[in-house]
Structure 1
Amino acid sequence: MENIVQIAQLLLALSILVGIHEAGHMLTAKMFGMKVEKFFIGFPPTLFSFKKGETEYGLGAIPLGGFVKISGMIDESMDKEQMAGPPQPWEFRSKPAWQRLIVMLGGIIVNVVAGVIAFIILTYNLGETYLPAKYTKEQGIVAGSIAQEAGLQTGDKVLKVNGEDYDRVSDIYSGETLLNSDAYWTVERNGEVLDVKVPQGFINELNDEEFELNFIYPRYEFAVNELPEGSTLNLQKGDKILKINDQGVKFYDEYQALTGQYAGQDVTLTIQRGDDTFEDTYAINPDSTLGFYAGGLIEPARDSYTFGEAVTRGTEKAFGAVILNAKALGKMFSGDVNPRSLSGPIGIVNMFPKTWDWNAFWYTTGFISMILAFMNLLPIPALDGGHVMFLLYEMVSGSAPSDKFLEGAQKVGMVILLALMVFVFGNDILKLFGI
């Protein structure tokens, strides 16, 4: 059922994003008097269609894209018969280069606007909730297996990230941090300040589904929060455990380590209750638990924004997603990022929550909208960016590439896209089987 909910969200998001993208092309084409023959969401076979005016509107059975067919344009339809005839005034090829450029950028612009609007509205309505950096600066971290492999240790106080101060715990492992050349953390370890260099290719660890569980989390003090019904423990809500036998306890990870050491044994606890301190004997269960629910003395922070502030912050976050992916793509070509990190539809499904949450849905949809705009702008024939590249060449040189050249480039671009699709589908399948 959870997978069905995720798939439903993906299909709805793609339908919205593809619809507005292709509408961006269609509306700008009609604005300049071009004939738009077809507007489809989804690929053939056709589920249904209707014609209004000169345009056929339809829905395809394969909901992984869409298309607009503009008369006189060399596109994926490869309509050579139409292109063999003399140019007509309503055709794409008959219009000035600047008008054709706007048409090709229309879909990208609409996706950017949609993504920015989504981020602005969510930022205004929800603000931002995060763990303040004071916890990892002052109390230190608990280092999981991935963090230990990177050179971090439990108890390290992370003072700076890439030599700069930071505000949020997530800044320690954000994409912006890890994609930085020569990234490093400045930590205080046993009273000594040292730099821990981020290992080469560490950014690939972000693709691990359990990365956040196995990387770091802040050390935190704790207290008794709740006792199970029928418990006979001499404990109350708010009690703090100061010692287990003679060993001091301040942070929850220290408590867990000691209860694991004394599993199945009786221990003497030193407990603080209000202003009083007392000792008592307790039995540690074989599973290393004592029999109470702990509450972490750690509080997330929340930033609220006025609408004006949300416009600035939301726009920054939207374009930040594009910049981050552009950096990742560059690192992929340099070999620092594993191409296995690329995901297709199966991987994208996992970006959506397992339960329907409109806020999470619109956040993910806005993010995908920005990434679609970026990917479509890549100068690959068959993508909008390929058409933009040839139009810019025409505007600078004063002469357009021949139709034969454009047809050949379109075929090459389609082969590249097909190969890329096979690659990302293969990545998704391998990840499903844990390979």
Structure 2
Amino acid sequence: MLFTLLAFILVLGVLVLAHEAGHFFTAKAFGVKVNEFGVGYPPRLFAVKRGETEYSVNLLPLGGFVKLSGEEDPEAPDSLASKSHAKRITVLASGAVINALLPLILLTGAFLIPHDVARGAIEVVEVAPDSPAAAAGIVAGDTVISFAGRELDNNAVLGRVIFMNLGEASEMVIRHADGTTSIVTVTPRWEPPADQGAVGLQTTTKDVVIERESVPFFQAIGRGFNESVDLLVLFKNSILSMIAGTAEGGVAGPVGIATIVGDVARAGLSPLLEFTALLSLNLAILNLLPIPALDGGRIAFVVVEWARRGKRIDPQTEGKIHFIGFAFLISLIILVTFNDIMRIVGNG
């Protein structure tokens, strides 16, 4: 439990510091006064003042904040609200932008660090009737060589690549039991029948060999970029699957995420960097949603003001809306955390 907690605090700290640093440096660059840079949420443990800014460490390690002068009040000295619309949007969006770019660094590091890769032959165990795989002529005993042009190390990678290509006609290279090879086309389904999967294949990885791998620097950068793009596709398909009601699993709160972080951290530093990259991308997209209290909600107010040719929404009204949004988010976090705890207790 202590290991899980420390790993979670470390991962969250990296994501929060990167996010808030984006706000901090862009605010400073545009002449906005930064009253406080806080790590964690109050109550405050201690603070140090350097120049005009207080740097605080707080008790609850579930986030962080940058307190800017006059976020809704243009009359405050060196306020955010007194700056141009473009500058305000840049300051508000910079945290999410940093979180969106961070996966490239994290994933490059994940490929550079020596890590274990499981490789083996992906054998088809069962083909569901009336499925895309059955229509393509795939049968039990066949071996999957590639999917949508992607080389496959194991059946877990196959599942991921299939999920990335939902709804898209994709070529599969198949080796049959008699040694012949054929290329077939399948279209993974968004809404497959229960227990069939998108393609209708049940596979296993045979003759698994664990290889220790470290990718050269420039190659690691390229793979890190490609992996970052893959994460975007996976995230997009996950959202669409949730809308369609076919997504597996559920939403995890701080407790659920901490549990996953602990499990991933035990697998090694490279998997932990990969998972942190996924969390960073999720954080970036979530923060840009037009929800009051989030960066995206504040950006929405600036855009509305811009569209109204500078006519501001009453600062008190905006503040109340953000407070209601914040209260809603806290309530949602409490609910999801309760579900996380019940799920953990239910699993013993």
Q: TM-score when scaled to structure 2?
A: 0.78
Distance change (3 Å), C-alpha of 1:194 and 1:101: closer
Q: Distance in 2 between matches of 1:202 and 1:48?
A: 56
8 Å contact from structure 1 (residues 118, 363) kept in 2 = yes
1:395 aligns with 306
1:346 aligns with 255
1:157 aligns with 142
- Please say if 1:315 is aligned against 2:313: no
Distance change (3 Å), C-alpha of 1:6 and 1:127: closer
2:24 aligns with 26
Q: Secondary structure at the match of 1:93?
A: coil
Query: How far did residue 195 of structure 1 move?
Result: 6.7
Query: How far did residue 355 of structure 1 move?
Result: 3.3
- What are the Cα deviations for residues 115-171 of structure 1, in whole angstroms up to 9, with x where unaligned? 211111222344883536xx23xxx2346xxx9799799934255888x45421334
Match of 2:151 among 167, 175, 181: 167
2:246 aligns with 336
2:181 aligns with none
Larger Rg: 1
1:420 aligns with 332
* Aligned residue identity for 1:103: V
* Aligned residue identity for 1:326: K
8 Å contact from structure 2 (residues 35, 68) kept in 1 = yes
Alignment of 1:118-157 (within 5 A): 118-126=106-114, 129-131=117-119, 135-136=121-122, 140-142=123-125, 155-157=140-142
351-360 or 46-55: bigger deviation: 351-360
- What are the Cα deviations for residues 295-321 of structure 1, in whole angstroms up to 9, with x where unaligned? x4x446787644333222202212322
Alignment of 1:264-275 (within 5 A): none
- What are the Cα deviations for residues 176-199 of structure 1, in whole angstroms up to 9, with x where unaligned? 5277138999789999x9979758
8 Å contact from structure 1 (residues 184, 198) kept in 2 = no
Query: How far did residue 21 of structure 1 move?
Result: 1.4
Q: Distance in 2 between matches of 1:62 and 1:105?
A: 24
- What are the Cα deviations for residues 25-79 of structure 1, in whole angstroms up to 9, with x where unaligned? 11211221111111111111111112222211111111001111111014xxxxx
1:51 aligns with 49
1:260 aligns with none
* Aligned residue identity for 2:337: F
Flag structure 2 segments of 5+ consecutive residues without an equivalent: 179-183
Q: Secondary structure at the match of 1:394?
A: helix
8 Å contact from structure 1 (residues 150, 199) kept in 2 = no
Query: How far did residue 10 of structure 1 move?
Result: 0.6
* Aligned residue identity for 2:151: D
Q: Distance in 1 between matches of 2:193 and 2:57?
A: 43
Distance change (3 Å), C-alpha of 1:165 and 1:200: same
* Aligned residue identity for 2:5: I
Query: How far did residue 408 of structure 1 move?
Result: 3.7
Match of 1:63 among 51, 55, 61: 61
Q: Secondary structure at the match of 1:90?
A: coil
* Aligned residue identity for 1:406: E
8 Å contact from structure 2 (residues 253, 333) kept in 1 = yes
- Please say if 1:99 is aligned against 2:97: no
* Aligned residue identity for 2:256: G
* Aligned residue identity for 1:387: R
* Aligned residue identity for 2:38: F
2:10 aligns with 12
Alignment of 1:161-200 (within 5 A): 164=148, 166-168=150-152, 169=154, 170-174=156-160, 177=163, 180-181=166-167, 200=191
Aligned length: 328
374-383 or 317-326: bigger deviation: 317-326
Q: Secondary structure at the match of 2:301?
A: helix
1:381 aligns with 292
* Aligned residue identity for 1:376: N
Flag structure 1 segments of 5+ consecutive residues without an equivalent: 75-82, 207-214, 221-295
In angstroms, what is the RMSD of aligned CA positions? 3.8
Query: How far did residue 367 of structure 1 move?
Result: 2.6
Match of 2:279 among 351, 357, 368: 368
Q: Distance in 1 between matches of 2:196 and 2:294?
A: 30
* Aligned residue identity for 2:287: N
8 Å contact from structure 1 (residues 5, 356) kept in 2 = no
Q: Distance in 1 between matches of 2:289 and 2:227?
A: 21
Distance change (3 Å), C-alpha of 1:13 and 1:179: same
Distance change (3 Å), C-alpha of 1:377 and 1:309: same
Query: How far did residue 345 of structure 1 move?
Result: 1.7
Query: How far did residue 87 of structure 1 move?
Result: 0.6
- What are the Cα deviations for residues 71-95 of structure 1, in whole angstroms up to 9, with x where unaligned? 1014xxxxxxxx4xx7134011111
Identity of aligned residues (%): 27
Distance change (3 Å), C-alpha of 1:430 and 1:416: same
Distance change (3 Å), C-alpha of 1:390 and 1:179: farther
4-13 or 409-418: bigger deviation: 409-418
8 Å contact from structure 2 (residues 265, 271) kept in 1 = no
Q: TM-score when scaled to structure 1?
A: 0.64
